[in-house]
Amino acid sequence: MFDSVGYEVLVDFMNRCELQKLEGDIIEVGAFLGGGTVKLAKFAKNYGKKVYVIDIFDPEFDQTEDVSGVKMCHIYQAFLGGRSQLEIFQETTKGWDNIITIKEDSKKVEFPEEQKFIFGFIDGNHQPEYVRNDFHIIWSNLISGGAVGFHDYNYTLPDVTKAIDGLIKEHEKGISEVQEIEPKHVILLIRR
């Protein structure tokens, strides 16, 4: 089961913070092949929670260039080798009835006010406007004590880091703690 992030660190974080004791579900923006999604679903299922997944499932969609000039879409396409991202995701997540997949551009997704999240993870389109948009999708429904995490922090996509730093500054009064997991290029913000 392919998981390029190492979602075990996210599950460990949720366990350490006892997020499962809070009321709400989990959300993931950007699932790629679903390996990490299954790890979130396994954790969530133990506590009667759902995992909402937002992904456009179009490997050509993210045109962001890394510091070496390689576009994210080219990395995804090379990894997929002509296979369908959506089909691989569906096969990987098959049998997990607590995964709710939203096949959509995240800029078009909204949740009702009553939907609450205890944890969200963002690793979707790496354009700064998407990083900000995806944060706001989660933050507006994230409960007190819940957390939102980002991938690719302080890594090969400096505009992602700049966008995240801007969000931290903009929302600093609503953030009780920031934790960085440097080897995984993950940063986590806990909501006050």
Beta bridge pairs of residue 142: 117
pLDDT for res 1: 72
| CA dihedral for 124, 57, 55, 185, sign (positive or negative) | negative
Residue 63 belongs to some domain of the structure: yes
**Residue 173: CB atoms within 10 Å:** 7
One-letter amino acid for residue 15 of the chain: N
Give the chain's domain count. 1
- Tell me if 125 sits within 8 A of 108, measured CB to CB: no
Q: Could you please report the per-residue DSSP string of 88-144?
A: HHHHHHTT-TTEEEEES-GGG----TT--EEEEEE-S--SHHHHHHHHHHHHTTEEE
Whether residue 38 lies inside any domain: the answer is yes
The mean pLDDT of 85-104, rounded to a whole number, is 98
22 located within any domain: no
pLDDT for the residue numbered 59: 96
For residue 164, report the phi and psi dihedrals to the nearest 5 degrees: -65, -45
List Cα–Cα distances, 87 to 64, 76, 166, in angstroms. Answer: 24, 14, 36
What are the tens digits of pLDDT across the range 143-153? Answer: 999 999 999 99
Q: Give the tens place of pLDDT for each residue, 28-65.
A: 999 999 999 999 999 999 999 999 999 999 999 999 99
Average pLDDT (108-128) is: 98
Q: Is residue 7 part of a domain?
A: no
Q: For residues 40 and 3, what is the distance between their CA atoms, to the nearest angstrom?
A: 11
- Provide the CATH number for the domain around residue 63: 3.40.50.150
pLDDT at 4: 84
Q: Specify if 8 maps to a domain.
A: no
pLDDT tens track for 3-23:
889 999 999 999 999 999 999
> Does residue 120 sit within a domain?
yes
Reference 2, options 127, 103, 93, 126; nearest CA is 93
Could you tell me the pLDDT band of residue 2, with boundaries at 50, 70 and 90? confident
CA distance 135 to 115: 15
Q: Which domain holds residue 75?
A: 27-150
Q: Give residue 3's pLDDT.
A: 85
Residue 144 lies in a domain: yes
Q: pLDDT tens, 132-179?
A: 999 999 999 999 999 999 999 999 999 999 999 999 999 999 999 999
Instruction: Decide if 37 is inside a domain.
Output: yes
